[in-house]
Amino acid sequence: MSVDPAQTPDSPGLTEADLAPEPVARTLPGLVPGTGPDGRPRPDAPLAAVTGVTGYVGGRLVPELLAAGYRVRALARSPQRLRGRPWVDDVEPVEADASDLDQIRAALQGVDVAYYLIHSLGSGRTFESLDRRTALTFAQAAREAGVRRIVYLGGLYPEGEELSPHLASRTEVGEILLASGVPTTVLRAAVILGSGSASFEMMRYLTERLPAMTVPRWVDNRIQPIAIRDVLRYLVGAAAMPREVSRGFDIGGPDVLTYRDMMQRYAAAAGLPRRIVVGVGVLTPRLSSLWVALVTPVPGGLARPLVESLVHEVVCDEHDIARWVPDPPEGLVGFDRAVRLARRRVHDAAVATRWSSAAARGGPSDPLPSDPDWAGGSLYVDERRVTVNASPAALWRVLEAVGGEHGWYSWRLAWRIRGLGDRLVGGPGLRRGRRDPWRLLVDDAVDFWRVEEVEPGRLLRLRAEMRVPGLAWLELRVEDAEDTETTAAGGGARGDAHDDPDRPGTPHRAPDDDRRRRPPAVFAQRALFHPRGLLGQLYWWSVAPFHGVVFGGMQRNIARAAERAEQARTDRRPT
C-alpha cells in the first residue's frame, strides 16, 4: 500500500538551511553582480530577460537572478498572469510573444542576457515545427537587439543515436541558438529532480501507487539526474561567461542511476517496501506513456515525449561547465537528498512552481470577455445564489481550497467520470491537482481548470482546460448580504479576507453580538459556456439536466462547509 508523503513527512539528514535555503548566488562569489545595500539589484546592474516566467524553471529562476543582483525583465504573452507572484513588484513585466519578431525584438532592447526557457512540449503533434519557428525568431531578435548572451536549458542526449522527437527538438533549438551570432550557453540536463517537476511527479506517483509493476526495458538505462537547485545555479552562473564562450555543456548531479534504481531509492526515502519491478520487452513508448497517464497526474501529451526520452541512456560526457561555474563547496545535490527535499516541499505545501504552472499555447479556452454577449454569440449561463450563515472570510477559505485533495463538493462519481473521460481524449483530467492546497494564484492549474482571476476574499474565476466543444468558465463569488436581511436570517459573523476574527489583534465578540451586527455572506456561482458549432450546442443541452445535481449540490455543500467552519470558530471564541 502506498504512503502519501504529505501524511508521513520524512526529512532525515535535512538541516534548517536545507529547508530554508539561501539563494544560489551565495556559492557564486565573483560571478554575479551582487545586490545593493538595500538587498535589491543596483540601478546599473546587468539586465536579464527571462522567457517562460510562468513555467516550472522560469518561475524559480527569476527570484534567484534578483538575489544575485540582476535586474529582471519578465517576458510573457499575458503579463497579467504574473499577478500574485512574490517577485512581481521587483521585475519589469513586458508583454511579448517569442514567436512575434517585432514584439520580442522590442522586448530584448537593452538586455545583457536573455534566458530562453520555452518549449511546446505537450502542445500536440506539431510541437517540433513550432519550437523551430519560435527559436529562429528569438535568435534573430536577440541578434538585432544587441543581446550579449543567450542561455538555453535543453535536454541531455547521447551522440550517434536516433533521438526521440522531444530530444531531437531540444537539440535542434540549441543548435539554432548557437548559430544565432549571439554568444550562447546551452545547458543540457536529463531528469530534473524537484518538487513539482514533471519528471519527479511521474516517478513519485509510479512508485507510491504501484507496489508491483511491469515496465519496459528502458528502466535499466542509465540516467544522470540533477536537482533543480543545481540547474538554477548553472543558469545564474552562465550569465557571466566570457563572450568568447559559446557552446553546449552537459550538466548532471553526482549520481548515475537506472530508472529502476531511482524508483527503489525513492521508495526507501518514502518509507515504502521495496517495489517489485519486472521488465518486459512488449511495452512500446506509446503504451508506456498511456500507462503513465493513467497512473500519474502527467497527461498523455506530456508523458509520451518524457517516456520516449527515457529510451536513451543520458549520462554526461563532460563536466566542462565547472571551469566557468565551479561546483559549490558542499558539492552538487545527490539523488537521495534531492528526493527528501522535494518530498518535504510537497508535505509543507511549499511548491513554488509546478509542471502544470504554464498554460500551453492554443489552450482550449480563452479569458472571459468583459462583455459576455460579445460578437453576438451564444453564451449559456447557469447562475445560482444562496445566503450562507457564515462570514465572507469563512466562505472564501472554502472557495479558495476547491479542487485537488478537497474535491468539488458535489456528485463525486460524476466528477470522476468526467475527469476520466477527459483523460481518455487527451485532456488533463482531475489528477493535475493543485500547486498549493489552500492558496491560489492567477494561472494556477486546478484539476482540469486554470485560475483566470483571483480577487482575494471576493472572486475566483476558473477557465476550463478540459476537452469541450467550446469555451467554459466557472465563477465563484463572495458577496455581502443586505443588512436588512441580517436580523431575520440570524446570520453568522461578517468579515472579509482582511477582517478575520481568528487573526491576532482582531477583537472577539460574543456570538449573539456577531449575529446582531454582521450579515451573512451570499455565495454566487456561475457556470458559463460559449458553444462551438452544433457539437457545442448538443454538448450543453446533453449536460444541462445534470446541472441541478452537480452545480446545485456543489453550491449547497460549499455553503454547509463554510457554515460548519464558522460554527466551529464561533464555538472556540470566549463568551
Q: Encode pLDDT of 359-380 as tens digits.
A: 544 444 445 544 444 444 578 8
Q: Picking from 426-440, 513-527, 557-571, which range would have the lowest pLDDT averaged per residue?
A: 513-527
Does one domain contain both 110 and 241? yes
* Tens of pLDDT, residues 450-478: 998 899 999 999 999 888 898 899 999 99
Is residue 340 domain-shared with residue 388, that is, in the same domain?
no
Same-domain status, 346 and 433: no
**Nearest one of 442, 461, 221, 435 to 349, comparing CA atoms:** 435
Q: Which of 322-326, 354-358, 524-528 has the lowest mean pLDDT?
A: 354-358
pLDDT score of 488 more than 60: no
The answer to whether residues 273 and 310 belong to one domain is yes
Domain co-membership, 398 together with 282 = no
Mean pLDDT (whole number) for 539-551: 88
Q: Which residues contact 4 (CB under 8 A, 6 or more apart)?
A: 208
146 domain-assigned? yes
Residues 330 and 421 in one domain: no
- Distance, in Å, from the CA atom of 416 to the CA atom of 39, rounded to the nearest integer, reads 48
Identify whether residues 467 and 563 lie together within a single domain: yes
What spatial distance separates the first Cα and last Cα of the chain, rounded to whole Å? 47
The reply to whether 121 falls in a domain is yes
Residue 260 cell numbers, joined: 529502476
Lowest mean pLDDT across 115-129, 391-405, 531-545:
115-129
pLDDT (0 to 100) of residue 372: 40
Report phi then psi at 142, rounded to 5: -65, -40
pLDDT reading at 512 higher than 60: no
Position 509 scores a pLDDT of 38
Q: Which domain CATH number covers 547?
A: 3.30.530.20
Distance of alpha carbon 66 from alpha carbon 84, whole angstroms:
17
**Could you read off the pLDDT of 40-58 as tens digits, one per residue?**
999 999 999 999 998 889 9
Chain centroid to CA 442: 11
Residue 133 has pLDDT above 90, yes or no: yes
Which residue type occupies 499? D
Whether 344 and 413 map to the same domain: the answer is: no
Do residue 333 and residue 429 come from a single domain? Answer: no
Q: pLDDT class for 164, splitting at 50, 70, 90?
A: confident
pLDDT value of position 475: 93
Nearest to 355 by CA among 210, 194, 473, 509: 194
Pair 335, 426 in one domain: no
Q: Which residue has the higher pLDDT, 509 or 377?
A: 377
Total of domains in the chain: 2
Residue 502 confidence class, pLDDT cut points 50, 70, 90? very low
**pLDDT tier at 357, thresholds 50, 70, 90:** low
pLDDT the model gives residue 144: 97
> What is the structure's pLDDT at 317?
93
In a domain, 265, yes or no: yes
Rounded CA separation 500/397 (Å): 11
CATH of the domain at 81: 3.40.50.720
Could you tell me if residue 160 is inside a domain? yes
Pair 202, 306: CB distance under 8 Å: yes
- Report yes or no on 77 lying in a domain: yes
pLDDT value at position 517?
42
Q: What is the pLDDT of residue 367?
A: 52
Q: Which amino acid is at 179?
A: A
Last residue of a domain, one of 308, 335, 351: 351
Phi, psi dihedrals of residue 555, rounded to the nearest 5° = -65, -45
What would the grid cell of residue 442 be? 492567477
Q: Is the pLDDT of residue 494 over 70?
A: no
Per-residue model confidence (pLDDT) at position 567? 87
Question: Is residue 102 assigned to a domain?
Answer: yes
**In what helix (H) or strand (E) does residue 454 lie, and over which residues does it extend?**
strand 449-455
pLDDT reported for residue 373 = 43
Query: Average pLDDT, stretch 396-401?
Result: 94
pTM, two decimals, is 0.77
Torsion angle, CA of 319/324/330/332, rounded to 10 degrees? -40
**Interior CA angle at 441 toward 337 and 379, to 5°?**
135
Domain of 463 in residue numbering reads as: 380-482+518-571
What is the pLDDT at residue 467? Answer: 87
Whether the Cβ atoms of residue 340 and residue 11 lie closer than 8 Å to each other: yes
| Domain final position from 351, 371, 389 | 351
| CA neighbor of 134 nearest in space, from 191, 96, 163 | 96
Domain edge (last residue) among 303, 331, 351: 351
344 with 388, same domain: the answer is no
The packing angle between helices 198-209 and 300-309, to 10°, is 90
* Predicted confidence (pLDDT) per residue in 262-293, tens digit: 999 999 998 999 998 887 766 666 677 666 77
The chain-wide mean pLDDT, for the chain, equals 82
**pLDDT tens digit string along 421-434?**
887 777 788 878 88
Residues 144-149, mean pLDDT to the nearest whole number: 97
**Statement to judge: residues 314 and 460 lie in one domain:** no
Is 491 inside any structural domain?
no
**What pLDDT does 61 receive?**
96
Rounded average pLDDT over 110-130: 81
**% of the chain residues with pLDDT over 70:** 81
- What's the CA gap between 196 and 351, in Å, rounded? 6
The reply to whether 505 falls in a domain is no
**Residue 500 in this model has a pLDDT that exceeds 50:** no
Could you report the per-residue pLDDT of 195-230, keeping only the tens digit for each? 888 888 888 888 888 898 877 777 888 999 999 999
Which contacts of 24-30 are long-range, i.e. CB under 8 A and separated by 24 or more positions? 24/64, 24/67, 24/68, 24/229, 24/232, 24/233, 24/236, 25/64, 25/67, 25/68, 25/69, 25/236, 27/233, 27/328, 27/329, 28/68, 28/233, 28/236, 28/237, 28/325
Average pLDDT over residues 62-83: 93
